[in-house]
Structure 1
Amino acid sequence: MLRTRNISASDHPAVHALLDKADLAPPGAYGPGDLGVVVAEDEGAVVGAVEFLFDTDFGRDEGRPDHPGPQTWVFSLAVAGAHRRRGVGRALLAEAARQAQEAGNTYLALAPAEGDDEDDRHAFFRMCGLMPIEHDVPCAAWGGPVSEVLSSKTADQGR
């Protein structure tokens, strides 16, 4: 059964491997006060991870007026290949949104990676309640109200 939970020290190698396989830069060691990291676990194995940071203001700092103000920024989201299209990614984003809401944030944002399956990623983010923030901007960020992410279909699957 799928469940989401905060990362533990024993999860670090699995999370690094997931991020590496997804061509996302693995971080260094996680420390107190660093990124929020949630893992998805299925039958005792880590099958997905999301890294995020509360109270960021990416976009406006870069002079992008259409970008919303303070938000929770998702740095990376990775799901093991055999577990894709099973609600793992959605459960991870929902848990990041739940924690964002608990921290007083009302907006969740990210920048989808570019690549061959970009259309699939965009469709996934739309299903999770996210939309492009700016149009016609290279590497445009996507985002949405935390409430939209939490109310998206099956958002509570991993809890």
Structure 2
Amino acid sequence: MTITYEWRGDFDNVAVNALHAEGFNHPAADVDWLARVRRHSLGWVCARDGGDLVGFVNVVWDGGVHAFILDTVVAGGRRRSGIGAGLVAEATRQAREAGCGWLHVDFEDDLRSFYFDACGFKPTRAGLIAL
């Protein structure tokens, strides 16, 4: 398996919708991901094995120094193989090159070791309002 990572790479909405549905355990939707990320994101990273999309992460930002990791997802059969950490590493590199000073992420508690140990994030206090 040779995984490649592509910053702001082209992708098929059907493939991202399927990957997202599998990763976040919901029915597949008909989201126009390409329009969404082109409009709101600093960039995104696609992980591919050959032509197959096996991972995706979205990097949104405030237009200044803060970037945010969203929707990190890896195909079910490929998890725990380093692809997720590779996605976040490329997102981190690209956010840094864009002049961002901070990269934020929030996550469910079961992903603490992934984000803290595998990706290098540090714990911080934050607030959240469920809307």
TM class by shorter chain equals 0.7 to 0.9
1:41 and 2:48 equivalent? Answer: yes
Correspondence for 1:13: 14
Tell me the CA shift for residue 107 of structure 1: 1.5
Correspondence for 2:66: 71
Q: TM-score, normalised by structure 2?
A: 0.78
Tell me the CA shift for residue 100 of structure 1: 0.4
Identity %: 32
Give the Cα–Cα distance (whole angstroms) in 2 for the partners of residues 98 and 132 of structure 1: 20
Q: TM-score, normalised by structure 1?
A: 0.65
1:4/1:39 contact within 8 Å kept: yes
CA deviations over 1:17-43 (Å, ceiling 9, x no partner): 111222278643423343222110012
Secondary structure at the aligned position of 2:34 is classed as coil
Secondary structure at the aligned position of 2:88 is classed as helix
Compared CA separation, residues 23 and 87, structure 1 to 2 (3 A) = same
1:53 and 2:60 equivalent? Answer: yes
**What is the RMSD computed on CA atoms of the aligned residues?**
2.5
Give the Cα–Cα distance (whole angstroms) in 2 for the partners of residues 11 and 94 of structure 1: 23
Q: Which segments of 5 or more consecutive residues in structure 2 lack a partner in the other structure?
A: none
Compared CA separation, residues 33 and 75, structure 1 to 2 (3 A) = same
Give the Cα–Cα distance (whole angstroms) in 1 for the partners of residues 123 and 12 of structure 2: 32
Correspondence for 2:124: 133
Give the Cα–Cα distance (whole angstroms) in 1 for the partners of residues 52 and 128 of structure 2: 36
2:22/2:76 contact within 8 Å kept: no
Aligned residues: 120
Give the Cα–Cα distance (whole angstroms) in 2 for the partners of residues 49 and 84 of structure 1: 12
Q: Which segments of 5 or more consecutive residues in structure 1 lack a partner in the other structure?
A: 58-69, 140-159
Compared CA separation, residues 71 and 22, structure 1 to 2 (3 A) = same
1:86 and 2:84 equivalent? Answer: no
Secondary structure at the aligned position of 1:14 is classed as helix
Q: Which has the higher helix share?
A: 2
